[in-house]
Amino acid sequence: MAYSFGSDEYFMNEAFKQAEIAFEEGEVPVGAVVVCNNKIVAKAHNQTERLNDSTAHAEILALTSAFNYLGAKYLPDCTLFVTLEPCTMCAGALNWSQIGKVVYGATDPKRGYKRLVTKKEQVLHPKTEIITGVLEKQCGDLVSAFFKKLR
């Protein structure tokens, strides 16, 4: 399906392509892209198995790539598109990055950061805008297929 360039669906579809690469490589299928001024400046997928590194999540790898590409320590003018709700580790990294916006596809009730958040607490940076449910079914179905394949 074609999505109009610049839409949340367009960029989430690009993150989904990264998740498909992870799936093919036997990684938990999560993909991420960082976008600044309607341009993808970083893309990544989970590589915890390949790198033997439990912190090599798509979000962390995409943030590191964006910092390097932009020569910046903070990303307030950027958006992270990620296929699955970030875990608490990734949410902490997103907080430190001061990213302007996070858009994610499927929720993760077992490991997602929101399970630890109350109305009084916040994990992401207070100025970070959050949008959920973009291509939710497509993103969730890929994760479900991965874990079904493992069983």
pTM, 2 dp: 0.93
Cα–Cα distance for residue pair 5/149, rounded to 1 Å:
33
pLDDT at 119: 57
Q: Is residue 59 among the annotated active site residues? A: yes
Per-residue pLDDT, averaged over 2-22, amounts to 95
Are 28 and 149 in contact by the 8 Å Cβ rule? The answer is: no
Out of 59, 85, 121, 136, pick the active-site residue. 59
Give me 56's structure tokens: 């090599």
* Dihedral-angle region of residue 134 (phi above 0 means left; psi in -120 to 50 means alpha; beta otherwise): beta
Instruction: Please indicate whether residue 40 or residue 4 has the higher confidence score (pLDDT).
Output: 40
Q: In 25-126, where does DSSP find H-type helix?
A: 48-51, 58-70, 88-97
Are 46 and 40 in contact by the 8 Å Cβ rule? The answer is: no
